[in-house]
């Protein structure tokens, strides 16, 4: 994540970007490589929302210790998002309930949305990228 400084495509356009995270961490690389895209998008001063639904809510679990599988623990990056002005983090209530999770279990503060609220948020985006 070397090029996270301020970037500009010259157009001055600000679009609403939603990043939809539906996959668990570690089993596949999408969560990790998805974070890299989110950070770059914020560096372009775009209006960024991160949404966690389905198994994506597992990305935010507290207490992750990945030493035993010999891969990087990137879960602390979620706590650093605020420093890059990425403050709109949403999780899906239904996905949390289905996994027995509450906000207390998560490593960052999030806004919990119902399915309908989530659907409306998605519908008003300019660009939705799913990982």
Partner 1 sequence: MLHIVNKSATERGALESCLAMATKGSAVLLIEDAVYAVTNGSTAAAKIQAAAADLKIYALGPDLAARGMAGRVLDGVNVVDYGGFVDLVAEHSNCQSWL
Partner 2 sequence: MQFGILINEGPYTHQASDSAFLFARTAIEKGHTVPRVFFYHDGVNNSNRLATPPQDDRNVSARWSKLAAEHGVDLVVCVAAAQRRGITDDVLAPGFRISGLGQLVEMGIQYDRLVTFGD
Interface ranges with partner 2 (CB under 8 A): 3, 7, 9, 11, 13, 15, 17, 26-30, 33, 36-37, 40-41, 43-44, 46, 69-72, 126-127, 129-130
Alpha carbon distance 75, 66 (integer Å) = 10
**Closest distance between partner 2 and the C-beta of residue 97, in Å?**
26
Question: Out of partner 1, partner 2, none, which partner does residue 90 contact, by CB within 5 to 8 A per kind?
Answer: none
Considering only residues 49 through 108, tell me which ones interact with partner 1, judged by CB under 8 A: 53-55, 58, 61-69, 71, 73, 75, 94, 98-101, 105
Q: What are phi and psi of 21, to 5 degrees?
A: -105, 110
Residue 115 falls in which region: left (phi positive, over 0), alpha (psi -120 to 50) or beta? alpha
Question: Out of partner 2, partner 1, none, which partner does residue 6 contact, by CB within 5 to 8 A per kind?
Answer: none
* CB-nearer residue toward partner 2: 109 or 126: 126
Alpha carbon distance 16, 129 (integer Å) = 11
HSE (side-chain half, CA atoms, 13 Å) at 9: 12
Q: What are phi and psi of 116, to 5 degrees?
A: -65, -45
Beta bridge partners of 20: 51, 130
Q: Is 126 in the site for partner 1 (CB under 8 A)?
A: yes
Q: In sequence order, which residues have a C-beta less than 8 Å from that of residue 13 and are 6 or more positions away?
A: none
Which tokens sit at 55? 């198994």
Q: Is 21 in the site for partner 1 (CB under 8 A)?
A: no
Binding site for partner 1 (CB under 8 A): 20, 22-28, 30, 53-55, 58, 61-69, 71, 73, 75, 94, 98-101, 105, 115, 118-120, 122-123, 125-128, 130-131
């Amino acid at each position: 994540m070397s090029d996270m400084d301020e970037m500009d495509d010259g157009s001055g356009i600000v679009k609403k970007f939603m990043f939809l995270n539906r996959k668990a961490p570690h089993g596949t690389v999408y969560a990790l490589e998805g974070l890299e895209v989110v950070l770059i998008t914020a560096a372009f001063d775009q209006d960024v929302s991160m949404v966690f639904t389905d198994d994506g809510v597992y990305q935010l679990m507290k207490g992750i210790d990945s030493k035993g599988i010999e891969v990087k623990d990137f879960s602390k990056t979620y706590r650093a998002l605020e420093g890059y002005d990425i403050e709109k983090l949403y999780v899906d209530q239904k996905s949390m309930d289905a996994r027995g999770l509450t906000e207390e279990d998560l490593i960052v503060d999030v806004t919990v949305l119902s399915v309908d609220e989530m659907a409306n948020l998605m519908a008003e985006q300019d660009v939705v990228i799913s990982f």
